[in-house]
Amino acid sequence: MSEVHSDQLLAQVAALPALPGVYRYFDADGGVLYVGKARNLKKRVASYFQKNHGGTRIGHMIGKIERLETTVVRSEAEALLLENNLIKTLNPRYNILFRDDKSYPYLKITGTGKVASGEATPPSAATFPRVAYYRGAVDRKHRYFGPYPSAWAVKESIQLLQKVFRLRTCEDTVFANRTRPCLLYQIKRCSGPCVNLVSPQDYQQDVHNAQAFLNGETQSVLAGLEDRMMQHAQRLEFEQAAELRNQMSALAKVLHQQSVETLSDKDVDILAVKVQGGKACVNLAMVRGGRHLGDRAYFPAHVEEAAAVQDFDITADEGSREGHAAQPVEVHVLEAFIAQHYIGVPAPPALITSEPVSPELIEALSEQTGMRISAVHNPREQRRLWLEMAGKNAGIQLARLLAEEGSQQARTRALIDALDLAPDNLDTFRIECFDISHTGGEATQASCVVFHHHKMQNSEYRRYNIDGITPGDDYAAMRQVLMRRYSKLAEAGRDPPDATPARGSGGGAGRLPDLVLVDGGKGQVSMAREVFAELGLDLAVIVGVEKGAGRKVGLEELVFADGRDKVYLGRDSAALMLVAQIRDEAHRFAITGMRARRAKVRVGGSSLEEIPGIGAKKRARLLQRFGGVRGVAAAGVDDIASVEGISRELAEEIYRALH
């Protein structure tokens, strides 16, 4: 194998230190092929270049290596963290990659819990913390519980806290302006702190109990409520005792509904993996505070290629490949998930896994998080039931994915057949679809969405702000977006920069899309034909999606720019389903962008709450003087400075923020 690599690369390999570290392989185009870690960089990297690996997956990868980069680290834990940060950042072709999902939701209780004693008159939002759904970065100003697998799990927990502890959920601005209790107080879901119907001390006790409940300390909460109930009864305070009795009853009912059968498993993650047809699914189920909160499925990329390379790494570490049994793909997938997932998400003290994972991985994870973490492969009793349930869900989700992918491929084939196209490769067939959106000509935006590899490619979507046209002129808007999208392709013989697919997508760089859909009939298609004729591009790729009689879904017809007759595919056509899916996605993407731009224009690009130095009183004075945010945005600096409490410097800051 060494004869296909440069002397410079081989000399670099020979000079590597025998130290722990992370290495990266690059191809001729600068793309990252593989990121790995090693206890001994010299031994590991040299093993790739010591023999000819033939036509294996390892051989294909090694044959592409043109450049090598290494980073020496102090420990395996540090190497693990760096390796998986690089994998998530660089998207290498031969690593198992779990793409970043949306951030996990949390349940938030506002404030730090340090509240001054004594009754607040009038009631203060800081004295009475609220419970809320939250998604984003956590800080020390508030208390957070989670993460939860879904928004539904958070909202269900909030409803439980309302039923049992009657904590408020209203925004602070609503709280500060209440003069009488809201409906939640009437249905016994809130204790009415906004109008002083509960003392700060009693409310804080409810907050404390809610936190203990979320932490799984349910028995101590019940015991504390019982003690307080007996104390009130002894003092003949029967109404307060009855309230606590009802609270205990509600909590006991909740615990029964949650089927908490073990109090030792307060925080546990259950991880089950299934592999089939070259695809894999990891199902993550979460137990928090002793309650099973639900699960979430993850689907990694590059499974088969990466598993082959990682097997090679393992055998290289052992010194000999002879007689060594390759690790199951499931183990590779599960270890990759654990390493990548817990970089950005807090790890619980216990992991239950469907496959045995490396003790070194768990040890490195413990070192990284600063907390002792254990992993159990063959659990018993309740834990076994949890793992079996997670395994079933992983199988179901993987079967659904395979069915959906098969369906999408069938739809792609049906569309190609219906339009009599002849793409070079079905799997690289690329469609770009355009739509225009505005409100009476205001804030016109065009969208371009991309269908590739049998699915929508969100990372390649683009929005275009349309300016310099007569408001409401959709034809001019379509002309502008197509010119901006394809003019560089026509001039330089390659895709425009903003149409370049994400690395690793194998996208349509260097060629026109196989199909360009425009949402509209003859008029929009005629405009697209003019643009393509002017740019010297192939007219045959342009297809318009014309709404049918009565604009009913399923009656759409396809209009062609090259003079072919219209085509009606039929209500039940798989090809029409794909066209409708792409068209609807373009419409959704355009309209959400238009609404955001319209809102930005109407409020001047910012809101008063986001401007430093503007508190509740100054904001109220500005809104009262000018009749709303739009009025403030329309005012000059002198007018803003004339408002009580607004200095000239602050007025200039407000003007800049709103323009």
Least confident among 17-26, 138-147, 170-179: 138-147
Residue 151 has pLDDT above 70, yes or no: yes
Residue spans of the domains in the chain: they are 2-90, 105-258, 268-398, 422-599, 603-658
- What does the pLDDT look like over 389-409, one tens digit per residue? 999 999 988 888 888 778 888
Separation CA 43–CA 14 (nearest Å): 9
Pick the CATH number of 268-398 from 1.10.1760, 2.60.40, 3.30.420, 1.10.10: 3.30.420
- Determine the average pLDDT of the residues in 46-62: 79
Instruction: Give the total residue count for the chain.
Output: 659
Percent above pLDDT 70 for the chain: 84
- Assessment of whether the complete model's pTM goes beyond 0.95: no
Could you name the CATH architecture of 2-90? 3-Layer(aba) Sandwich (3.40)
CATH of domain 422-599: 3.30.420.340
Query: What DSSP element (H or E) covers 501?
Result: none
Least confident among 301-315, 417-431, 634-648: 301-315
Residue 288 has pLDDT above 70, yes or no: yes
The token duo for 617 is 């009183």
Percent above pLDDT 90 for the chain: 16
Task: Report whether CATH 3.40.50.300 matches the domain 603-658.
Answer: no
Separation CA 309–CA 428 (nearest Å): 25
Q: Strand 268-276 and strand 350-353: pairing?
A: parallel
- Determine the average pLDDT of the residues in 599-618: 65
- What does the pLDDT look like over 261-284, one tens digit per residue? 444 557 899 999 999 878 899 999
Residue 595 has pLDDT above 90, yes or no: no
Least confident among 47-51, 239-243, 566-570, 635-639: 239-243
Three-class SS string for 76-132? HHHHHHHHHHHHHHHCCCCCCECCCCCCCEEEEECCCCCCCCCCCCCCCCCCCCEEE
Least confident among 257-271, 347-361, 531-545: 257-271
Count CA atoms closer than 13 A to 27's CA, side-chain side. Answer: 15
- Determine the average pLDDT of the residues in 79-89: 85
pLDDT confidence bin for 337, thresholds 50/70/90: very high
33 three-state secondary structure: strand
What pLDDT is attached to residue 526? 92
**Measured in whole angstroms, how far is the alpha carbon of residue 358 from the centre of its chain?**
28
Q: Comparing 2-90 with 268-398, is the CATH topology the same?
A: no
Residue 496 has pLDDT above 50, yes or no: no
Cα-only R_g, the chain:
31
Separation CA 247–CA 257 (nearest Å): 15
pLDDT confidence bin for 252, thresholds 50/70/90: low
The answer to whether 205 and 240 are in contact (CB under 8 A) is no
Separation CA 608–CA 651 (nearest Å): 12
pLDDT confidence bin for 52, thresholds 50/70/90: confident
Dihedral angle of Cα 238, 243, 244, 246, to the nearest 10 degrees: 120
What pLDDT is attached to residue 3? 58
DSSP string, 537-566: --GGGEEEEE--GGG-TT--EEEETTSPPP
Residue 2 has pLDDT above 70, yes or no: no
| Close Cβ partners of 108 (under 8 Å, ≥ 6 residues apart) | 131, 132, 133, 134, 142, 143, 144, 145
Q: Strand 105-109 and strand 67-72: pairing?
A: unpaired
